[in-house]
Amino acid sequence: MNPAYPTRRAILSMIGATAGASAMYAAMTSLGHAAESYYEGPIRLEGDPKGARVLILGAGLAGMTAALELRKAGYQVEILEYREKAGGRCWTLHAGDSFTELGGATQKVDFAEGNYINPGPWRIPYNHRAVLDYCKTLGVELEPFNQVNHNALLHASDAFGGKPQRFREVDTDYRGNISELLAKAAQSGALDQQLSAADKEALMASLKSYGALDDEFNYEKSLHTSEYRGYAKWPAGGVTARPEPSDLLDFGQILQSKLWNNLNTGNLTEFQTTMFQPKGGMDRIAAAFQREVGDLITFNAKVTQIKQDDSGVTVTYIPSTGEGQPQTRQADWCICTIPFSVLSQIETDLSPEMQSVVDSMPYAGAVKFGLEFKRRFWEEDEAIYGGISYTDLPITLISYPSTGYHKPGPAVLLGGYSWGATAQEFTAMSPEDRVKWALEYGARIHPQYRDEFKTGVSVVWHRVPWVLGCYGLWREKDKNYDTATKIDGRIMMAGEHVSYVPAWQEGAITSALDAISRLHDRVING
């Protein structure tokens, strides 16, 4: 084999790097962290439940979905909700809002009127059919959410002098260099055992097109490559209109920077075009559900005890404000959507097997930052309209608003979304320090941060009282998931944590639909 060309193993290793996100997706799917919804249309609960009573714990999307459909089927339904409003993690912070986290720190949202941030879910994939169907049925108006913006930025602290690079430049140069390497390997005969002569010819033609290669199958600085990666001088009209090609990034730096890690994210099925967001904030979905079932909800109800016997369920609760006497509610059945992180602290009559699953589930840490700036400098200065910039800094990303383009005055962007150990570090800080560090890190990507900043808020999910974490993390899911989905005496579990689409609203809704379908079968057929 000609040593001037990379070995097949080396070529496949480099190509495999581009599949990193896809490989991650496959692994996540097997662990239950990413999957397409199986929703096939509105649920039909046939048969007369003869007024059976169902008590639902939690007025998030799972609880309200269950309530909506059970009432339509003829059940007597009531919901107990810890908060003062419905929605759970389907939550939006609007101008004028305030919230108090565990530890007592209160943040007031001083955004300009109409601005908001979604601390929880912030986008809806096209294939989350249950969420989209309920949005349609309940009249929630949607607009596009821009996941991928080729003019957004990729940033690595120790690459290219710490200067952010345009997504399109990294993407084009990476693809072009990989295509050239593969083309040269094919020319050298390294792939002859894998390809027929006809396939080899087709491969060469496809690589030339895919990688923007020249007639010699080289990836070189040219007006042709600049059609994809952008120009040093953009074409225009008039005497000085002639375009000039842009310089290519050093391929070795691209490889070592690992900026390629985020090139494929938008190709994951859950992030592919088209994605959506509700107009005015994600809580428009919660508000629409609340319009339908709000009369069934008792708000500010902190559940302290769940007891069951052969005839039914009795739930004790106190005002979540801390003032008032314990009260009880009774029902024939209970659907519990309380996150296991909270349920594990409540006295229950669950079976030992179910209690073990509840007690063993940790919840992911996460932090989000809503930062408001005096003007849309990302649009005005850098022509970034929506999409996401990625960084190796602790904030991990910056997401730009997908609406209100060219609107004058203040605007809010998602100034960071971190998980794991990094989120724990932010959780230990005061809200003021969190925002300070989000600004410090963000300024390394957008220097305008310092002069344009107006106000900001942060939400660390382990300090959110009604969930104590962002989403459920399964341990030994193959063994424990079946236990969690069983009817446990008179109690059933539902929510994003009881799904194979965790951390998504789709998981919450489809979990509820599955739970009530099986409960209805039990009620009707015994």
Q: Give 18's contacts (C-beta < 8 A, 6+ positions apart).
A: 174, 178, 260, 263, 264
- Identify the pLDDT of residue 21: 37
Measured distance CA(14)–CA(11) in Å, rounded: 5
Please, which pLDDT band fits residue 526 given cuts at 50, 70 and 90?
A: confident
**Ordered domains of the chain (ranges, CATH):** 8-29+169-257 (1.20.1440.240), 53-81+298-361+474-525 (3.50.50.60), 93-122+364-463 (3.90.660.10)
Q: Is residue 31 predicted with pLDDT exceeding 60?
A: no
Length of the chain: 526
Please, which pLDDT band fits residue 42 given cuts at 50, 70 and 90?
A: confident
Give the phi and the psi of residue 52 in degrees, each rounded to 5: -55, 140
Provide the sign of the torsion angle of the four alpha carbons 29, 57, 60, 323, taken in this order. Answer: negative
Q: Is residue 1 predicted with pLDDT exceeding 70?
A: no
Amino acid identity of 117? I
- Identify the pLDDT of residue 357: 97
- Mean residue pLDDT of the chain comes to 93
Range of lowest pLDDT (12-16, 209-213, 393-397, 475-479) = 12-16
Please, which pLDDT band fits residue 465 given cuts at 50, 70 and 90?
A: very high
Q: Is residue 8 predicted with pLDDT exceeding 50?
A: no
Q: Is residue 33 predicted with pLDDT exceeding 70?
A: no
**Position with higher pLDDT, 81 vs 21:** 81
Please, which pLDDT band fits residue 489 given cuts at 50, 70 and 90?
A: very high
- Identify the pLDDT of residue 131: 98
Measured distance CA(137)–CA(120) in Å, rounded: 22
Give the phi and the psi of residue 43 in degrees, each rounded to 5: -75, 150
Tell me the CA distances in angstroms from 262 to 205, 394, 462, one per residue in order: 27, 15, 27
- Burial of residue 240 (CB within 10 Å: 0-12, 13-18, 19+) is exposed
Q: What angle do CA 33, 339, 395 make, to 5 degrees?
A: 55
Measured distance CA(371)–CA(93) in Å, rounded: 12
Please, which pLDDT band fits residue 37 given cuts at 50, 70 and 90?
A: low
Q: Which of 122, 120, 98 is nearest to 111 (CA)?
A: 98
Average pLDDT over residues 443-447: 98
For residue range 197-247, what is the model confidence (pLDDT) as tens digits? Answer: 999 999 999 999 999 999 999 999 999 999 999 999 999 999 999 999 999
Average pLDDT over residues 393-400: 98
Please, which pLDDT band fits residue 323 given cuts at 50, 70 and 90?
A: confident
For residue range 401-433, what is the model confidence (pLDDT) as tens digits? Answer: 999 999 999 999 999 999 999 999 999 999 999
Q: Give 299's contacts (C-beta < 8 A, 6+ positions apart).
A: 59, 81, 83, 84, 85, 86
Average pLDDT over residues 356-368: 97
Average pLDDT over residues 359-387: 98
Q: Is residue 20 predicted with pLDDT exceeding 80?
A: no
Please, which pLDDT band fits residue 337 given cuts at 50, 70 and 90?
A: very high
Measured distance CA(491)–CA(224) in Å, rounded: 64
**High-pLDDT (> 70) share of the chain, %:** 93
274 preceded by cis ω (within 30°)? yes
Average pLDDT over residues 499-504: 95
Q: Which of 93, 87, 16, 523 is nearest to 312 (CA)?
A: 523
Under 8 Å between Cβ of 391 and 417: no
Paired tokens of 394: 């602790």
For residue 462, give the DSSP letter. Answer: G
- Identify the pLDDT of residue 322: 83
- Identify the pLDDT of residue 3: 35
Helix axes 283-293, 129-138, angle to 10 degrees: 60
3-state secondary structure string, 338-394?
Answer: CCHHHHCCCEECCCHHHHHHHHHCCECCEEEEEEEECCCHHHHCCCCCCCEEEECCC
Give the phi and the psi of residue 57 in degrees, each rounded to 5: -105, 110
Q: Give 59's contacts (C-beta < 8 A, 6+ positions apart).
A: 67, 79, 81, 83, 86, 87, 88, 290, 293, 297, 299
For residue 111, give the DSSP letter. Answer: P
For residue range 93-152, what is the model confidence (pLDDT) as tens digits? Answer: 999 999 999 999 999 999 999 999 999 999 999 999 999 999 999 999 999 999 999 999
Q: Which of 266, 333, 378 is nearest to 492 (CA)?
A: 333
Please, which pLDDT band fits residue 36 given cuts at 50, 70 and 90?
A: low
Number of C-beta neighbours around residue 253 at 10 A: 17
Provide the sign of the torsion angle of the four alpha carbons 445, 446, 451, 453, taken in this order. Answer: negative
Strands (E), 179-251: 231-233, 244-245
